Structure 1
Amino acid sequence: MRIVHVVTLVSDDGAYGGPTSVATGQLEECAARGHEVTLVSLWRGRSRAPERVGSVPLRTRPARALIPGRVIGLMHPLLVRDLWRCMGRADVVHIHAGRDLVSLTALAVAALRRKKFFTQTHGMVESRHGAVARLFDRVYVPLLRRAQGCLVLTERERRAVTEVVGPEGPPLLTLPNGVRPEHAGTAVRHRRRDREVIFLARLHPRKRPEAFVEMAALVHRKTPDARFTLYGPDEGSLPAVRRIIADHGMKGVVSYAGALDYAAAVRAQARASVYVLPSVDEPFPMTVMEALSVGTPVVCTDTCGIADELARRGAAVVTDGSPREMADAVCGLLSDENRCEALAKAGHRAVEEIFSIHAVTDRLEEIYRRPCHIGCTE
């Protein structure tokens, strides 16, 4: 098959996070199975856009902010031409769709081209009641309804998408995220000398980097040799993070190391003793999957969409998200190598049995090969 994926943004700082990682992982596995693949996206970075992301050919244009805002208003006029040409040859189009101009344009081009297309919303499509959102949705929602199917991660996302598209929407098909098995091979080798605890996410209020710093201050009292690093692009929370670090006198103990590209992020996770994700209402965090795949113990909150499954398998420490409970979890892991080993092995099993990109792509191929609805040509 000729498969085209569209994602809003590829960048050298990983600012668009999960959707970009998911798209490239799916396409790399599809390419390994003999399919012809292309990723179409905007690019933002200090250098020229790469020709490939991993092994995936990339068609891209520089991101321009046509509407004030972070990602929603990014676009480039020539991306419309790229989408038209790439989709013209495609057997299947897969749009990683948020509420933004790139997603809206991709949906419109796929509909005009009368292509078989699927959407994957990554928890980004929920009911919005503001005037701008209602105006945007007058065009956006009818296009979402024309998809052959919408891929959702969890029951919570299923309910949210249903609320937006209504009963006339496309079939909602469950598809988990997956990680590449070559990363999972290091999972059982948890032998780290550096006692580093990391945060790896956007510095955004929903990700709660401030709670990570509060947790670090509590851990430091019991484990003074531990060090804490925050990685990720700033989306408004960095001033508060720096203020809390100063208030607790934690300079030199807690540091902000900026954003990382995907390969550097995986290396940072592999080096870490513990990965902490304090964010709330994460439907399916890829950073947790990637930490499991490299054998790094994970501490997350009970609102994470996969928290119940990870807790049932003993693959992560699930907390209520308070700095005190996260600190207790981290202290317990830093003082118990056997517990870390057990978590690493359980995480490895979870990756192999549920979250492997091989299993995910088996399901994705099955979805792509479904008969096309009336009004769609392949």
Structure 2
Amino acid sequence: MRVVHVVTLVSDDGAYGGPTSVAAGQLEECAARGHEVTLVALWRGAGPAPDRIGSVPLRSRPARSVLPGRFTGLMHPLLVGDLWRAMGGADVVHVHAGRDLVSLTALAVAVLRRRRFVAQTHGMVQPRRSAAVRLFDRVYVPLLRRARGCLVLTEQERRAVAGVVGENGPPLLTVPNGVRPDASGEAEHRPRGRQVLFLARLHPRKRPEAFVEMAALVHRRMPDARFTLHGADEGALPEVLRLIAAHGLEGVVSYGGALEHAEAVRAYARAAVYVLPSVDEPFGMTLIEALAAGTPVVCTDTCGIAEELAARGAGVVTDGSPRELADAVCGLLADDGRREALAAAGRRAVAEAFSVHAVTDRLEEIYGRVCQAPRHPPGRREPLRVGG
């Protein structure tokens, strides 16, 4: 099967976050199963774009800002031709679709080329009322409705996407994100000390400021604990640095910048605890990446997978306040046995529910149905019937 994925941005600092790592992981597993795969995206980095992301061939153009917005307005005119050529030979197209020009263009090209395609929105398509979004959606939503299926992460996202596409939308199919389990077991035996990690975009929704406030509370009780933040700055770094200085945490809390994927994996494995203080997180890809590295996790009760982690005993779920986050971290740092039990439950959760192998089984089922479905002239569509 020839499979083409489209994601808005690949960069050397991982700025686009989950959608990029999810697309690469899905395609790597598809390639390992013998499918012919291609990833099409914009590129942003200090050097030229790589030809491959892992084992996945990458077709890319340099990202240019043609409209306002961090990702919304990114585009390159020659990417249109790349999409046209890549989709021409595809059996199925998979668009990781946000509200941005690359996603809009990819959906339009798929429709014009009469390719069978699915869309995966990663929590990025929510009901919005601003005039700019309403104008964008006049073109975007009719294209999204032409998908053979729209992949959603959680029931919360299902409701949000249904509120955008309406009754005439494509079937909404639940497909979680997945990672490769650490089969080597090496991460279980690495010394971790009392290092606490934040690894996410420094964006208000991710609440890096709450991480610093939590660190100040933990430091009073455990002076030897150390805290590191990693991630591309999206406006919160000045406040993070101000709080570090205000609490006198220089040398205790540090900001290490954004990390490439391989470096991020090593950072997870070195940490004793991973903390994600974000609110209304659609899924929480970094949580399962930390679990795959054998690292216990702390999150908030508005994270998309918080309930699943709590039910499996695979994470500590808090109300998101610095006080509860601090209590959770102190409890884990003080109890090696509990930390090891959480780590073991986390690895089981990855293997059973969040493994890229299980996710790709589901994708192959969906792709197979997409390829078997007849093509219809413009204006007609039939729902894709897939279990779940």
Residue 126 of structure 1, CA deviation: 0.6
How many Å separate the matches in 1 of 2:350 and 2:228?
25
Contact 1:282 1:304 in 2 (8 A): yes
Contact 1:119 1:149 in 2 (8 A): yes
Deviations 1:85-143 (A, max 9, x none): 00001000000000000000000000000000000000000111111101000000000
Unaligned runs of 5+ in 2: 379-388
Contact 1:190 1:344 in 2 (8 A): no
C-alpha change, 1:216 and 1:190, in structure 2 (3 Å) is: farther
1:35 counterpart residue number: 35
Read off the aligned partner of 2:294 and give its amino acid letter. Answer: G
How many Å separate the matches in 2 of 1:302 and 1:373?
43
Read off the aligned partner of 1:325 and give its amino acid letter. Answer: E
Contact 1:295 1:347 in 2 (8 A): yes
How many Å separate the matches in 2 of 1:376 and 1:209?
49
1:308 counterpart residue number: 307
Residue 207 of structure 1, CA deviation: 0.2
C-alpha change, 1:110 and 1:250, in structure 2 (3 Å) is: same
Contact 1:188 1:341 in 2 (8 A): no
- Give the structure-2-normalised TM-score: 0.95
The number of aligned residues is: 376
How many Å separate the matches in 2 of 1:373 and 1:65?
38
Tell me if 1:116 matches 2:116: yes
Tell me if 1:51 matches 2:57: no
Read off the aligned partner of 1:338 and give its amino acid letter. Answer: G
C-alpha change, 1:216 and 1:225, in structure 2 (3 Å) is: same
1:375 counterpart residue number: 376
Contact 2:125 2:164 in 1 (8 A): yes
2:384 counterpart residue number: none
How many Å separate the matches in 2 of 1:327 and 1:256?
19
Read off the aligned partner of 1:353 and give its amino acid letter. Answer: E
Deviations 1:12-64 (A, max 9, x none): 00000100010000000000000000000000000110000011000000000
Three-state SS of the structure 2 residue aligned to 1:362 is: helix
2:232 counterpart residue number: 233
TM alignment of 1:315-330, pairs within 5 A: 315-330=314-329
TM alignment of 1:252-263, pairs within 5 A: 252-263=251-262
Read off the aligned partner of 2:19 and give its amino acid letter. Answer: P
How many Å separate the matches in 2 of 1:185 and 1:146?
43
Deviations 1:239-261 (A, max 9, x none): 00011111100011101000001
How many Å separate the matches in 1 of 2:202 and 2:73?
20
How many Å separate the matches in 2 of 1:193 and 1:153?
31
How many Å separate the matches in 2 of 1:249 and 1:305?
34
TM alignment of 1:234-253, pairs within 5 A: 234-253=233-252
C-alpha change, 1:236 and 1:188, in structure 2 (3 Å) is: closer
Residue 190 of structure 1, CA deviation: 5.0
How many Å separate the matches in 1 of 2:189 and 2:64?
43
How many Å separate the matches in 1 of 2:174 and 2:71?
26
Residue 372 of structure 1, CA deviation: 2.0
1:282 counterpart residue number: 281
Read off the aligned partner of 1:355 and give its amino acid letter. Answer: F
1:102 counterpart residue number: 102
How many Å separate the matches in 1 of 2:264 and 2:55?
18
Q: After TM superposition, what 4+ stretches of structure 1 lie above 4 angstroms from structure 2? A: none
Read off the aligned partner of 2:38 and give its amino acid letter. Answer: T
How many Å separate the matches in 2 of 1:3 and 1:179?
19
Read off the aligned partner of 1:159 and give its amino acid letter. Answer: R
How many Å separate the matches in 1 of 2:289 and 2:66?
33
How many Å separate the matches in 1 of 2:242 and 2:377?
55
How many Å separate the matches in 1 of 2:174 and 2:374?
19
Three-state SS of the structure 2 residue aligned to 1:38 is: strand
Read off the aligned partner of 1:361 and give its amino acid letter. Answer: T
Three-state SS of the structure 2 residue aligned to 1:369 is: helix
Residue 189 of structure 1, CA deviation: 1.1
Question: What is the identity percentage for the equivalent residue pairs of Structure 1 and Structure 2?
Answer: 76
1:8 counterpart residue number: 8
Deviates more, 1:52-61 or 1:187-196: 187-196
Read off the aligned partner of 1:59 and give its amino acid letter. Answer: R
2:383 counterpart residue number: none
Residue 373 of structure 1, CA deviation: 4.7
Deviations 1:158-183 (A, max 9, x none): 000000000000011110111013x3
C-alpha change, 1:52 and 1:331, in structure 2 (3 Å) is: same
How many Å separate the matches in 1 of 2:183 and 2:312?
16
C-alpha change, 1:374 and 1:226, in structure 2 (3 Å) is: same
